[in-house]
């Protein structure tokens, strides 16, 4: 293994991509990583990205990237429908893999990738960076230590500036439920994962799912489509601990909308707040409470803001796992369990029936 972990990114574009906005700044800020290779569908865009981000290798076929001897870790930042193909190739090449959430389009895909990862015997990580926020980790510790007593209730408001009546044409695929990339899976999954990281797993969920903007205007280029996936969620959950949780996941919220997560216990209260158009997982969360506590740990890398801030936390923990052969980050088994919970929320919304734990995450 090289002194630095050499990362190959699949799906990075120099002009507009989630990897450009989050993964690249995070990796550049962490000395234990080196950007070694990039891959896109066209050599012109791959070469452009390599020049922009200082990658020695550029590919127009991800299979060549995952086979490169100069790559230790494959970062999968392509769209969800392509995750399985890229993850499979990386695992077969014996590479460590970090993959954006959601892992797959559905439970079947997620479970197959989880099984492949176990068999491959490499380190894998799912991109649930919200729980890695220092403020969220401190809140989890305070709850575990009983600092607010027994958690009784929690309320969450998780807004996003996306999922409104106007959408870039490039992202029209988000409207198709078959693609597994929608508000329920993405922001809903991230939000429920944060809640469980602090309060523990869910015993059951009930949900009301709504499409508030069915007719969607597409721009750049212009067009129109129908939204077939919810843009608003109301989730009621009961944690294994008995804590009752209400979660609102809302699309099309204006800039400045504030994420909030308030926990009420028998001995005190905690509140996490933040704000970012992409969702709370891109925010530098702040922690307040009615009990005294030590400040959260410093961020993994200084000088970051917005999208890369918690991604850097995730990369640092994943790199430490690889180099020390530990297992602290959430892996593909966790991702498969969370995918089952996302499916349960969808079913609860469609049927109006409460869904009972069916192999969901425990934390």
Cα angle value 248/181/252 (rounded, 5°): 45
The answer to whether residues 120 and 141 belong to one domain is no
Last residue of a domain, one of 107, 129, 151: 129
Residue numbers of the domain that contains 57:
5-129
Task: Indicate if 17 and 163 belong to the same structural domain.
Answer: no
For residues 288 and 142, state if they share a domain. Answer: yes
- What is the predicted pLDDT for the residue at 357? 97
Q: Same structural domain for residues 69 and 143? A: no
Is residue 11 left, alpha or beta, with left meaning phi > 0 and alpha meaning psi from -120 to 50?
left
Q: State the pLDDT at residue 2.
A: 56
Does 97 map to a domain? yes
Residues 138 and 220 in one domain: yes
Indicate if 244 and 154 belong to the same structural domain. Answer: yes
Specify the CATH number for the domain of residue 239. 3.30.360.10
CATH number at residue 91: 3.40.50.720
Task: Report the side by side order of strands in the sheet with 33-39.
Answer: 57-59, 33-39, 5-10, 73-76, 96-100, 124-127
Q: Is residue 21 part of a domain?
A: yes
Picking from 66, 99, 129, the residue at the C-terminal end of a domain is 129
Task: Determine which helix (DSSP H) or strand (DSSP E) holds 309, and give its type and residue range.
Answer: helix 308-324
**Is 276 part of a structural domain of the chain?**
yes
pLDDT for position 257: 92
- Are 70 and 138 members of one domain? no
Residue 194 included in any domain:
yes
Per-residue pLDDT of the chain (363 residues; tens, 9 = 90+): 557 999 999 999 998 888 999 999 999 999 999 999 999 999 999 999 999 999 999 999 999 999 999 999 999 999 999 999 999 999 999 999 999 999 999 999 999 999 999 999 999 999 999 999 999 999 999 999 999 999 999 999 999 999 999 988 888 888 899 999 999 999 999 999 999 999 999 999 999 999 999 999 999 899 999 999 999 999 999 999 999 999 999 999 998 899 999 999 999 999 999 988 888 898 899 999 999 999 999 999 988 989 999 999 999 999 999 999 999 999 999 999 999 999 999 999 999 999 999 999 999
Identify whether residues 157 and 12 lie together within a single domain: no
Domain presence at residue 304: no
Looking at the structure of the chain, the number of domains it has is 2
- My answer on whether 121 and 45 are in the same domain is yes
> DSSP 3-state assignment of 215?
strand
Report if residue 309 sits inside a domain: no
Whether residues 341 and 192 fall in one domain: yes
361 within some domain: no
The CA-atom distances, in angstroms, between 249 and each of 189, 210, 277 are 10, 11, 13
Cα–Cα distances in Å, from 133 out to 78, 104, 114, 299, 307? 24, 24, 25, 8, 12
Would 314 be classed as within a structural domain? no
Q: What is the DSSP letter of 266?
A: S
φ, ψ (nearest 5 deg) of residue 293: -155, 155
Same domain, 342 and 272: yes
Domain boundary among 129, 145, 168: 129
Helices (H) and strands (E) counted in the chain, each on its own, are 10, 17
> Do 70 and 191 reside in the same domain of the chain?
no
């Amino acid at each position: 293994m090289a002194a630095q972990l050499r990362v190959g990114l699949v799906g990075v574009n120099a002009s507009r991509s989630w990897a450009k906005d989050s993964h690249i700044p995070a990796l550049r800020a962490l000395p234990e990583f080196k950007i070694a290779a990039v891959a896109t569908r066209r050599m012109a865009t791959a070469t452009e990205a390599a020049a922009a981000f200082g990658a020695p290798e550029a590919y127009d076929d991800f299979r060549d990237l995952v086979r490169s001897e100069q790559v230790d870790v494959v970062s999968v930042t392509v769209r969800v429908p392509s995750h399985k193909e890229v993850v499979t190739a990386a695992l077969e090449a014996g590479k460590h893999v970090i993959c954006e959430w959601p892992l797959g389009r559905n439970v079947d895909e997620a479970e197959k990738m989880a099984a492949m990862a176990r068999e491959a015997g490499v380190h894998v990580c799912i991109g649930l960076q919200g729980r890695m926020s220092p403020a969220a980790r401190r809140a989890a510790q305070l709850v575990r230590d009983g600092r607010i007593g027994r958690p009784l209730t929690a309320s969450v408001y998780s807004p996003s500036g996306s999922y409104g009546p106007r959408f870039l044409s490039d992202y029209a695929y988000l409207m198709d439920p078959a693609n597994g990339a929608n508000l329920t899976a993405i922001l809903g999954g991230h939000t429920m994962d944060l809640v469980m990281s602090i309060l523990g797993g869910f015993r059951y969920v009930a949900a009301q799912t709504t499409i508030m903007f069915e007719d969607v205007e597409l721009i750049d280029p212009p067009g129109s489509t129908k939204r077939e996936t919810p843009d608003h969620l109301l989730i009621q959950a009961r944690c294994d601990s008995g804590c009752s949780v209400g979660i609102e996941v809302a699309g099309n919220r204006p800039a400045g909308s504030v994420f909030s997560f308030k926990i009420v216990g028998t001995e005190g209260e905690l509140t996490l707040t933040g704000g970012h158009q992409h969702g709370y997982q891109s925010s530098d969360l702040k922690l307040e409470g009615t009990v005294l506590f030590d400040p959260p740990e410093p961020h993994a890398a200084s000088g970051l803001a917005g999208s890369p801030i918690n991604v850097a936390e995730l990369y640092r923990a994943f790199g430490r796992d690889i180099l020390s052969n530990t297992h602290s980050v959430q892996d593909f088994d966790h991702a498969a369990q969370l995918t089952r919970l996302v499916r349960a929320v969808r079913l609860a919304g469609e049927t109006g029936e409460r869904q009972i734990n069916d192999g969901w995450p425990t934390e």
